[in-house]
Amino acid sequence: MERHNQIFQDVADQIRDLYKFGQPFRVFHGSSSSTRPRHYSDTNVIDTSMLSQVTSVDTNKRTCLVEPNVPMDRLVEATMPHGLVYPVVMELPGITAGGSLQEHLEKVVRFDTGNGDIIRASREEHEDLFHGAAGAAGTLGVTTLIQCCDKPEVDYVDGILFSKDHGTIIMGELTNTKPANSRIRTLSNAEDPWFYLYVQGQTERLPEYSTVTEYIPLGVYLFRSNQPLWWISIFKADPKADMQSKILADAKVHGDDVSTNEAPKAARHT
């Protein structure tokens, strides 16, 4: 935690100095999913890109301490070996913990406010900031640390409606075993089918209320919509193309490849 404490203290000091002179500032997180052009000055930028690690995992309390720029895939990689999974994992692996604050799931969030104050917010203290920060686009403070909690009783349910007369309910159950004659389904390789199209193909000719059982690694299932970027990529690439074309087009349709615009966040603090 020594590295983390030094970084967040430096951030607070920079904010405090700018506030003292009445200077607005912008926050640089390292990347953004926005593709809009940015018009900004290189001055008065608070760089938090180094806050990008899972600092600890507590298996007894079923919690972990996460810095705001940790993407979902690295959060999953850090917690799964300990038997912990964040209850709501954003569908795209590049979405960060700080960019997807969920006050109903987090236990504690620490902020550097616009005047440089360091505030620990939870349901019990500074609860207005704790609940208000979600969806505030960083305008209420700079997130520097998040305590996430795991809910072991939560499995998975998903639903896809393909047409007015064809829909699928997907129920996921965690397991550490599989039958020897069952294959492991992958969804993230270039040659793999897009998830929603695979489900459609597996179910469109089944009798009503029939079931299909698949075994998918949890880390793959959580980001099942990344390869086709949900179904948006149908407008950009042909899912029925030959294998060579699919491999060449693969890098263009992954959701995590959208996060390329490295510019300060638009939230302005004064």
Q: What's the CA gap between 54 and 69, in Å, rounded? A: 10
Beta bridge partners of 157: 171
The residue-averaged pLDDT of 246-269 equals 49
Contact 45, 28 (CB under 8 A): yes
Q: What's the CA gap between 238 and 249, in Å, rounded? A: 9
| Per-residue pLDDT tens over the stretch 70-93 | 999 999 999 999 988 888 888 888
- The residue with greater pLDDT, 14 or 105, is 14
Q: Which two tokens stand for residue 120?
A: 């620990």
Q: What's the CA gap between 28 and 38, in Å, rounded? A: 12
| Per-residue pLDDT tens over the stretch 79-138 | 999 988 888 888 888 888 888 787 667 788 999 989 999 999 998 999 899 888 887 878
Question: 3-state DSSP: the chain helix, strand, coil percent, rounded to 5?
Answer: 25, 20, 50
Confidence at residue 204, expressed as pLDDT on a 0 to 100 scale = 92
Helix (H, G, I), strand (E, B) or coil at 26: strand
Residue 12's contacts (CB-CB under 8 Å, 6 or more residues apart) are 112, 116, 117, 118
Q: What's the CA gap between 258 and 181, in Å, rounded? A: 38
Residue 229's contacts (CB-CB under 8 Å, 6 or more residues apart) are 92, 253, 254, 255, 258
Which residue has tokens 């506030």? 19
Task: State which H helix or E strand residue 4 sits in.
Answer: helix 2-20
